[in-house]
Amino acid sequence: MEPSELDDWAAEAAEAVGATLEPGDIAAVLDLARDAAHGIARPAAPLTTFIAGIAVGRGLPLAEVVAALVAAIERRSA
């Protein structure tokens, strides 16, 4: 999938659920998924991003959520 196709899909998916994507959100979530997949296990990627989504849905800023989860991944993989 080309990056532009991924951006298009993300915009369509966000619109389908009434969400708003901010600049940098896609990269942050993809980086988080990569960190979870490599630092924990591949199946941890979707689970970790789901958990991030719950936290953001409860009002926490994405950057804060990502930082906390990356720190947890680093602690676990150390």
Question: For every one of its 78 residues, what pLDDT tens digit does the chain have, with 9 covering 90 and above?
Answer: 788 899 999 999 999 999 999 999 999 999 999 999 999 999 999 999 999 999 999 999 999 999 999 999 999 987
What confidence score (pLDDT) does residue 78 get? 79
Q: DSSP string covering the chain, please?
A: --HHHHHHHHHHHHHHTT--PPTTHHHHHHHHHHHHHHHT-TTHHHHHHHHHHHHHHTT--HHHHHHHHHHHHHHHH-
**Domain residues of the chain, as ranges?**
20-77
